[in-house]
Structure 1
Amino acid sequence: MKKRKPSLLVVDDTKTNLILVEKLLANEGYDITYANDGIEALQAVGKKRFDMILLDVMMPRMDGFEACRRLKSKEQTKDIPVIFLTAVADIDGISKGFDVGGVDYIIKPVKPRELKARIKTHLELKFLRERDVEQTQKDIVYTLGFVGELRSKDTGKHVERVAEYAGLMARLYGMDSEEAEVVKLAAAMHDIGKVAIPDGILNKPSQLSDEERAVMNKHTQWGYHIFSRSKKPILQAAATIAYEHHEKWDGSGYPRGLKGEQIHIYGRIAALVDVFDALGTKRSYKEAWSLEDIYAAIRTESGKHFDPKLVDLFVDHYGDFLSIRERLLD
């Protein structure tokens, strides 16, 4: 999987300045987009994600200060570091730049080594902060997943394995590393709705009655309701997975009886990897299946329970799934 290039937005109303920056950064490994004023900059950030913005101060239609102020007022752009580029080195102007949310100032004419060093430094700081936030987010996600599993007495490392399987399957399916990570984290919360299921049903040591099964099946709806109000991508994905991981390719699943590609790809991935792990795990009401029987069952359910394309990927990369299983045995 190719590593994503850091993306920069360079905003300046003078063409020669844009050409100069383009030449200076040509071999630095950045994905660079150019804009001619503050209005174009705001339009650009609405279409693409940027890791940093180099922003001229004096521009027609909308100057750099106002553009930065607007960027910092929006949730989706407030954390993008902004470095001001200006020919004016007065203290008031520099102070104003920091007041509206800039992280640094570079005085024109730009010195190549200074430009490269400051971009690199602020990108490293941004990525460090993101890693800290990401790790905290991961910890919370896995904790939520374990909350759903703790009430079930015999699921062990089910949450971790399902998450790892889902991330692997997402990558095999062709998702980029960022989306695959979202699927991995969201899959850890696939059974969070079980927090609403009575213990007597959740941990019953024998098969459930029809009435009990109807109650158990509602964990998909509870899981959806827990996460569906959030606008965060991971929790939106978690809502989808919680709701759809018991749907089946042939339409015989629950809760909505979705069929084929009516089921979101996240749900189809979670359906397969959840069953793969569940069949190989001892539960209060069943013994663990052998790997041979699990493999045969998943192949048999291609086009019935599971998306045929995902089954093919599972078969072709079976050894990778087994490696995860062996690493995370209970």
Structure 2
Amino acid sequence: MNDYKKAVAAAIISAGFIFSSVFGTSAMAASQGTVTGSGVRLRSKPSTSSSILTNAYKGDKVTVKDKSGNWYNVVFNGKAGWMSADYIKISSGSIATASRGNTAVAPGWVTANGGLILRKSPSTSGARITVMPKGSQVTVLSEENGWSQVKYGNYSGWASSKYITKTKPVSNVTSSSRSSSISSQIVAFAEQQLGKPYVHGAAGPNAFDCSGLTYYIYKKFGYSIPRTSDGQGFGSYAPTVAKSDLQPGDLIVFKSSGSGYHMGIYIGGNEFIHSPNPGRKVAINSLNESWYKSHYIQAKRVVR
């Protein structure tokens, strides 16, 4: 009889071990955390033998998504991975546990006409990671206070839930998909020019004036546009589009001093990239800033 009891007990212990191994990772509601150590490693798996993705330092903020043993599954600077729970202080109260069914991963699609900004944290002040063009497919990992944590290509971050739908949109014509892809490439290439100085009359590759930057970027992708700002702003080479219909890759026109004009390329999220003026460097600014808002004239759709 004792041997029988021992056998049953062993079976129960074994089953419990298997259950713990399979279901031991608790699902949790997203919480904000603060790194308390220096050089804390973000790893690909909850193990010290897994590959290192990056390092975090004391005071850095992370989004805590899950827990497995003594490891937290976190998002840090747009990268998802695992950090030791010993070096993270949860700053939004205790973490609520939830069933897996309430945190199910689901596909989503971007609906914002001008593109949707992917940020490092669920806030409009969160650092910008990239812009997701309208129609882009994402993987929605969780939702919290009007924000969705998503995976977009190799990026992970937060975006406004208002502009993400769970209903797959009806596919448009192939040319539209192609235009969206090229526009994304144009934005990415434009961002590679950030920090290069303004030089009057320069059109790259190491310095630009405003129309020189736009001319250089579009030319890279096979689009021939006028070299001068007035030619770019008012030529018949491309149709004019309404401000409410702006899409990443559109060329935007501002009234500058005197009879001049200023050019930039819309990158989504109400932001654009441009070479401002002497003494400054290629930068990103918002169309909501007072000068740009009051001097905005129109936009041209070069990619179509």
Would the TM-score normalized by the shorter structure come out above 0.5?
no
Structure with the higher strand share, 1 or 2: 2
Structure with the higher helix share, 1 or 2: 1
